[in-house]
Amino acid sequence: MDLTQELKNKINQKTKPVGSLGLLENIAMQVGLIQNTLSPSLKNPAIIVFAADHGITDEGVSAFPKEVTKQMVLNFLNGGAAINVFCRQNKIKLKVVDAGVDADFDGSTDFINAKIRKGTNNILKEPAMKISECNEAMERGGEIVLNENKNGCNIIGFGEMGIGNTSSASLLMSKYCNVPIELCTGRGTGHNDEGLKKKISILQKAIDKHKISNDAKEILATFGGFEIAMITGAMLKAAELNMVILVDGFIVTSALLAAYHVNKNVLKNCIFCHRSNESGHKIMLDYFKAKPILDIDLRLGEGTGAAIAFPVVQSAVNFLNEMASFESAAVSDKL
């Protein structure tokens, strides 16, 4: 009997009607397969928030100035952001990575300086980054995950901060999913109708300017951000290490699109934590045929959806390991 059937039998023999724990049963099955065991465990959970600035903010694609990226990184380091609150609540280790912020920070135990340079190029004028920079960002993201894994972490989520990064995510989505840019573009951080219309126009110009191949890394280098490229590399490394990957919202899922187009095997390790209120995220999830855990109108980023969904994943593992079977509990299975 293969492991899939063994896990199915174990789940179905719990003291409950078959299928009555819904998505928890699917998650239990998935985590068991990732870890290649009938008794999976979640150890030293971590969320890594990658931050970077984007040159396209010079075109006014965001309602907020790029200085907010620096200000929010300081907020993370001071423990005051939403992701800090939810990680503390659920006992998740949080680390903050400077992937390419246009500022400098003093180090702390929860801070990693992996800066490539101080922000990407303006995509309306040139590719966001060189292929060599994109490769370096992916490698650094992978190294950060490897270090966490060496410290005993086997479940990891990723967050992001970067004014302008919904523009990069929309462009990546358009290219990877072959979807018109207007369907990929939402309000981001606070746009009104006029701001959204302007944003779509700018992003269409960016697409028209860059006549590139369908190579996954070329797309990422042309339209991505340093934080998105690092998350891409981090996801690929996490899958290679058989870690569970908690997928957050719109920006992080755009990194998953890049990772998927580099190596489709990454998808089997991914648990989709929520459906973002950012309009394009629904299309991304449909692209992956994903059924997210939560649908509560989140659109903050930072990894907040992953942190909030983590206890549900823990519940799936716990019922698999701790819930009595019909035989052990001497309960009739004729339900």
- Read off the pLDDT of residues 265-287 as tens digits, 9 standing for 90 and up: 999 999 999 999 988 999 999 99
Place of tokens 């990454």: 266
Paired with 98 in beta bridges are: 51, 113
Tell me what the mean pLDDT of segment 239-266 comes to.
98
Q: What's the order of all strands across the beta sheet hosting 93-100?
A: 111-113, 93-100, 46-52, 155-161, 244-247, 270-272
Residue 175: closest CA among 233, 127, 143: 127
| 329 has pLDDT over 80 | no
pLDDT range class, residue 333, cuts 50, 70, 90: confident
The DSSP output letter for 66 is T
The count of other CB atoms within 10 Å of the CB of residue 132 is: 10
Evaluate whether 300 touches 166 at the Cβ level (below 8 Å).
no
Residue of 148, 140, 149 lying closest to 110 (CA atoms):
148
Confidence of residue 187 (pLDDT cuts 50, 70, 90): low
Average pLDDT over residues 208-212: 89
Phi-psi region of 228 (alpha: psi -120 to 50; beta: other; left: phi over 0): alpha
What HEC string does 163-195 produce? CCHHHHHHHHHHHHHCCCHHHHCCCCCCCCHHH
What are φ and ψ of residue 178, in 5° steps? Answer: 55, 55
What amino acid is encoded at 309 in this protein? A
Give residue 21's pLDDT: 98
Mean pLDDT over residues 304-324, rounded? 98
Query: Does residue 292 have a pLDDT over 70?
Result: yes
CA distances, 144 to each of 91, 101, 137, 182 (Å): 20, 17, 11, 35
| Residue whose entry in the numeric block shows the structure tokens 């068991």 | 32
Which range (15-29, 97-111, 225-239) has the least confidence? 97-111
Q: Which residues have a catalytic role annotated? A: 302
Please state the rounded mean pLDDT for residues 104-125. Answer: 94
- Sorted by where each starts, the structural domains of the chain and their CATH numbers stand as 46-319 (3.40.50.10210)
DSSP 103: S
pLDDT of residue 319: 98
- The rounded Cα 60 to chain-centroid distance in angstroms is 25
**Cα separation, 149 vs 45, whole angstroms:** 10
Residue 334's pLDDT band (boundaries 50, 70, 90)?
low
Evaluate if residue 296 carries a pLDDT over 90.
Answer: yes
3-state secondary structure of 48: strand
Q: With bands split at pLDDT 50, 70 and 90, how would you rate the model's confidence at 198?
A: confident
Q: Is 152 left (phi over 0), alpha (psi -120 to 50) or beta?
A: left
| Mean pLDDT value across residues 52-66 | 90
**pLDDT tens by residue, 94-110:** 999 999 999 999 878 89
What percent of the chain stands above pLDDT 90? 86
Q: What's the confidence (pLDDT) of residue 190?
A: 60
B/e letters for 210-241, b = 16+ CB within 10 Å, e = fewer, are beeeeebbbbbbbbbbbbbbbbbbbbbbbbbb
Distance of alpha carbon 119 from alpha carbon 162, whole angstroms? 9
pLDDT at position 192 is 73
Question: What local confidence, expressed as pLDDT, does residue 67 receive?
Answer: 95
